[in-house]
Amino acid sequence: MKIGITCYPTYGGSGVVATELGIALAAQGHEVHFISYALPHRLNRFVEKIYFHEVEVSNYPLFEHSLYALALTSKMVEVIEYENLDLMHVHYAIPHAMSAYLAKKVIQKSGKDIKFITTLHGTDITLVGLEPSFMPLVKFSIEESDGVTTVSRYLKEKTLTNYNIDKEIEVIYNFIDTDSYKKTDNELLRSHVAPNGEKILIHTSNFRPVKRVTDTIRILEKVKNTIPAKLVLIGDGPDRSECERLARELGLQKDVIFLGKQDGLAELLSAADLFLMPSQSESFGLSALEAMACGLPVVSSSVGGLPELVIHNETGFIAEIGDVDRMAKYSIDLLSNEKKYKNFSANSRKRSVESFDKKLILPKYIEYYEKVLGR
Instruction: Indicate whether 196 and 291 sit together in one domain.
Output: yes
Q: What is the per-residue pLDDT for 45?
A: 83
Instruction: Indicate whether 196 and 341 sit together in one domain.
Output: yes
- Which band of pLDDT confidence, cut at 50, 70 and 90, is reported for residue 60? low
Number of domains in the chain: 2
> Global pTM?
0.90
- Which band of pLDDT confidence, cut at 50, 70 and 90, is reported for residue 136? confident
Q: Which long-range contacts (CB under 8 A, 24 or more apart) does 327-330 make?
A: 327/215, 327/219, 327/276, 327/278, 327/299, 328/218, 328/219, 328/222, 328/223, 330/299
Residue 278 structural domain: 187-356
CATH classification of the domain holding 19: 3.40.50.2000
Q: What share of the chain is helix, strand, coil (3-state, %, to 5)?
A: 45, 15, 35
54 touches 67 (CB < 8 A): no
Residue 180 falls within a domain, yes or no? no
Find how far residue 360's CA is from the centre of its chain: 18
Indicate the SS3 state at residue 189: helix
Look over the chain and give the mean of its residue pLDDT values, rounded to a whole number: 92
Strand partners, 302: none
Q: What is the per-residue pLDDT for 110?
A: 87
| Number of residues written out for the chain | 375
Residue 363 falls within a domain, yes or no? yes
Q: What is the Cα–Cα distance from 10 to 264, expressed in whole angstroms? A: 15
216 touches 278 (CB < 8 A): yes
Residue 269 phi/psi, 5° resolution? -65, -35
- Please name the residues in contact with 56: beta carbons below 8 A apart, sequence gap of 6 or more: 71, 75
Find how far residue 159's CA is from the centre of its chain: 18
Instruction: Indicate whether 140 and 223 sit together in one domain.
Output: no
Residue 62 has pLDDT above 70, yes or no: no
Indicate the SS3 state at residue 53: strand
Helices 358-373 and 338-356 cross at an angle (nearest 10°) of: 30
Instruction: Indicate whether 304 and 215 sit together in one domain.
Output: yes
Q: What is the per-residue pLDDT for 125?
A: 74
What value does the mean pLDDT take over residues 263-290? 93
Q: What is the per-residue pLDDT for 375?
A: 73
126 touches 163 (CB < 8 A): no
Residue 6 has pLDDT above 90, yes or no: yes
Name which residue leads in pLDDT, 39 or 215: 215
- Which band of pLDDT confidence, cut at 50, 70 and 90, is reported for residue 238? very high
- Which band of pLDDT confidence, cut at 50, 70 and 90, is reported for residue 126? low
Q: From 114, 103, 39, 116, select the one nearest 76 (Cα to Cα).
A: 103
Q: What is the per-residue pLDDT for 241?
A: 96
Residue 10 has pLDDT above 90, yes or no: no
Residue 108 falls within a domain, yes or no? yes
Q: What is the per-residue pLDDT for 133?
A: 74
pLDDT per position as a tens digit, 72-81: 999 999 999 9
Residue 129 has pLDDT above 50, yes or no: no
Q: What is the per-residue pLDDT for 229?
A: 97
pLDDT per position as a tens digit, 21-46: 999 999 999 999 999 998 888 888 88
